[in-house]
Structure 1
């Protein structure tokens, strides 16, 4: 473990940085090295998205290397993020989480597969989460939102993260999977252990992720065994009784696929909703534009996903190559902060501003290429329904005085402590 020392500018006292660093590989140029910790971003107190944009503004090259988090590259350019997503021949999904030591413990499929092996597994997942299937559950999704909001509205206040965001998408997904809601806290604990693993070293973070991965696997295996051969319409039954190239889904792959569905359904939208609503609470003029204009709301949801990307996964360099003038070696890892695509000013003018009528917002919030998020249709529906039903019942709301949301970065960004207040008639 290397140690760095800096000085507090006010007290001149030395600040010791005990974060674990690795030695710079010979092929990494000195001028591309930056201290960027994806799990503890500089400036995150002001906001997760603001922190990444602040780093980007520091005359960053398009591709940089950090000695933190096990040592890896970071794509700091929006189009580069998209390019890497869309080219599995050069950038493999064999390892997608950082640090690499932790990513190697991640065993869920088909996210760790590359085409053509990946393709039939993705098709199977699509059978349970395609647009037609999601439209079938819209009424249940909407009623779940209504029930929660109508319980909250008379209070005149809530912690949006705790009282809505951490409940609504989880209830929806647990119902779709045919799982009891009382199991949700256990599964959420596993999800956090994978997307924001704790530890001071790559090895400690790997142990945290491995334990969470194992927790998912141990939870889903008896459920899979019970639903094999079943005729239910829940998401798990549909997937485990599907076929791969005409053959039954192998047991180990079924465990990985169902665990992946739970991981994706219990963390990503939870946090996106809170980021989205914090912005609206701070910008009542943007909310006013949606009042009585459902068409603008429907079209504007994609703009919200552009603005509030929360995923930063990685790809592994598949072969030695020169990429945008930079030498990369097989096995190198590259972080893809999707936030930097949607907030790239060269891709979207005035990117920090929500423009409901923005034409063709460019982003990779749902990833890209063969691994484009299988749950994107459900995510869009959950965001749309939340806005529609919340604004009907709580048309004006704001952050409580003294509110100071707590932002966290990682594979999936998170925000907590989101107190809202509003007038009650």
Structure 2
């Protein structure tokens, strides 16, 4: 096909600007296709957060919504479910309304007993019990390619390690991972040229998760297994067995959370480390710095951008908000806020007062955060023990994706393999 017969590029769908949005607050920011994303997702979000950027901006893309650009707002909105509800947590609104997983779209007090059910399987004490199993998975994977002197980190480690760990904890077969990964991608990066099309993509993926988990829930009801799903589906909610509808939402959420966030976080982290051997050296020289540095990594490489629903008309940070408006909370912008962190794009293993919303805040603080921290720490420890120095392959061009969960693929790493005497 020659240039004359190529179809014209799709015109981005734009929502009309509400009459209460002043022109000086409008910015053309598409959360699914950030300007400058080829340099990196975090770099692209950081450009949105310029010195002259207001704390709240409005974009006509993805259905039209607000974006909180400063850490103080992101933190506060997460902690204020009475003013900023979780009833629609994704943009565009059509995708958020199609989203049916619990308890993420609930507010307290309805949310609380479901959260307790999640915490029962994912609390710190439970995670400590499985640390040696998690470590064994990491070691097996790394030792599988260490002698080759190269790997595509996103494909050969990050895309397998957290998924394998999670499916094992949930008592699910590893061969189900590919189909679950496709569903997860359609949830966090719903395709479509209009909000309605994106909503239909997400709805289909959500139904796909429900269809997958329904027979598993039926099989494990009343069971005595120690896997995460058995614990969830046999939880009581307000003194009664969890309903079928809510069990579908809870178990699906568990799978979505386990399959997407840490996978992508690990690759962003390793791209940085491959470009900053001095940080790697610092970790290797001081094991305590490595452990404490995990929180600094979470600050620097937040991947989630979800939304909140404005409950009632209000003035917030000098801006008029209307009931039903959506505010996107790019968690990266809390960790990268230079009013809270000096030189925020730098990973500083000695940084004090590390503040971030990578796991959100308030009642919806991520139930899987103890597992995520453990997976990141284990990855760093076991990788550096076997591959102490590494770099991005010359000419490497990672491919970045923005969305509800930022993603990256094509992360070729290379290292010297010691010659055996």
Do both proteins adopt the same fold according to a TM-score greater than 0.5, normalized to the shorter chain? yes
In the alignment, which of 199, 206, 211 is matched to residue 206 of structure 1? 199
How far the C-alpha of 1:167 sits from its partner, in A, is: 0.1
Secondary structure of the structure 2 residue equivalent to 1:335: strand
Q: Which residue of structure 1 lines up, in the alignment, with residue 141 of structure 2?
A: 148
Q: Which residue of structure 1 lines up, in the alignment, with residue 401 of structure 2?
A: 408
How far the C-alpha of 1:58 sits from its partner, in A, is: 6.2
Output the CA distance in 2 between the equivalents of 1:17 and 1:189. Answer: 24
Q: Which residue of structure 1 lines up, in the alignment, with residue 362 of structure 2?
A: 369
How far the C-alpha of 1:92 sits from its partner, in A, is: 0.2
Q: Which residue of structure 2 lines up, in the alignment, with residue 234 of structure 1?
A: 227
Q: Which residue of structure 2 lines up, in the alignment, with residue 3 of structure 1?
A: none
5 Å-filtered alignment, 1:19-418, equals 19-57=12-50, 59-418=52-411
Output the CA distance in 1 between the equivalents of 2:373 and 2:288. Answer: 15
Output the CA distance in 2 between the equivalents of 1:418 and 1:317. Answer: 39
**Is the 8 Å Cα contact of residues 10 and 193 (structure 2) preserved in structure 1?**
no
How far the C-alpha of 1:227 sits from its partner, in A, is: 0.2
Secondary structure of the structure 1 residue equivalent to 2:413: strand
CA-based RMSD: 0.9
Residues 275-317 of structure 1, C-alpha deviations (whole Å, 9 max, x = no match): 0000000000000001142111110000000000000000000
How far the C-alpha of 1:56 sits from its partner, in A, is: 1.1
Find runs of 4+ consecutive structure 1 residues off by over 6 angstroms. none
Output the CA distance in 2 between the equivalents of 1:105 and 1:44. Answer: 27
**Is the 8 Å Cα contact of residues 154 and 409 (structure 2) preserved in structure 1?**
yes
Output the CA distance in 2 between the equivalents of 1:378 and 1:23. Answer: 42
Secondary structure of the structure 2 residue equivalent to 1:291: helix
Residues 341-360 of structure 1, C-alpha deviations (whole Å, 9 max, x = no match): 00001111111111111112
Give structure 1 stretches of 5+ with no counterpart: 1-14
Output the CA distance in 1 between the equivalents of 2:273 and 2:332. Answer: 18
> Do the aligned partners of residues 239 and 16 (structure 1) sit closer, same or farther apart at CA in structure 2, a change above 3 Å counting?
closer
**Is the 8 Å Cα contact of residues 306 and 330 (structure 2) preserved in structure 1?**
yes
Q: Which residue of structure 2 lines up, in the alignment, with residue 7 of structure 1?
A: none
Output the CA distance in 1 between the equivalents of 2:307 and 2:292. Answer: 30
Output the CA distance in 1 between the equivalents of 2:10 and 2:319. Answer: 29
**Is the 8 Å Cα contact of residues 152 and 412 (structure 2) preserved in structure 1?**
yes
TM-score (norm 1): 0.96
**Count of residues in Structure 1 that have an aligned counterpart in Structure 2:** 411
Secondary structure of the structure 2 residue equivalent to 1:266: helix
* More off after superposition, 34-43 vs 284-293: 284-293
* More off after superposition, 321-330 vs 262-271: 321-330
Q: Which residue of structure 2 lines up, in the alignment, with residue 9 of structure 1?
A: none
TM-score (norm 2): 0.97
Secondary structure of the structure 2 residue equivalent to 1:28: coil
Output the CA distance in 2 between the equivalents of 1:343 and 1:190. Answer: 30
Output the CA distance in 1 between the equivalents of 2:350 and 2:242. Answer: 44
Output the CA distance in 2 between the equivalents of 1:23 and 1:151. Answer: 53
Output the CA distance in 2 between the equivalents of 1:214 and 1:59. Answer: 43
Residues 325-352 of structure 1, C-alpha deviations (whole Å, 9 max, x = no match): 1111111000000000000011111111
Output the CA distance in 2 between the equivalents of 1:322 and 1:274. Answer: 39
Output the CA distance in 2 between the equivalents of 1:163 and 1:333. Answer: 37
Output the CA distance in 1 between the equivalents of 2:211 and 2:337. Answer: 41
Secondary structure of the structure 2 residue equivalent to 1:407: strand
Q: Which residue of structure 2 lines up, in the alignment, with residue 424 of structure 1?
A: 417
How far the C-alpha of 1:17 sits from its partner, in A, is: 6.8
Output the CA distance in 2 between the equivalents of 1:327 and 1:33. Answer: 13
